[in-house]
Amino acid sequence: MEATAIYDYSASHADELSFHVNDIIKILNEGDGQWYNAELNGKLGIVPANYLTFEPPK
């Protein structure tokens, strides 16, 4: 499943992924519901769920 970033995010821990608005992020699983396990540009880490959308940005 893929999601689109709706905000920029700068990782603050080693297990997080940084990304920019409109990046397409591959969601590997939903984790705890607030953070998703994801892949971006070949890197694995967690991303905040509330920074993503599963619909195309408007």
Which tens digit of pLDDT belongs to each residue from 4-50? 999 999 999 999 999 999 999 999 998 788 999 999 999 999 999 99
Note the pTM of the prediction, 2 decimals.
Answer: 0.87
In a domain, 58, yes or no: no
Q: What is the largest CA-CA distance in the chain?
A: 31
In a domain, 40, yes or no: yes
Task: Please give the pLDDT value at position 33.
Answer: 82
Nearest to 20 by CA among 7, 1, 39, 37: 7
Rounded Cα distance, 28 and 44, in Å? 9
The CATH number of whichever domain residue 21 belongs to comes to 2.30.30.40
Number of compact structural domains in the chain: 1
3-state secondary structure the chain: CEEEECCCECCCCCCECCECCCCEEEEEECCCCCEEEEEECCEEEEEEHHHEECCCCC
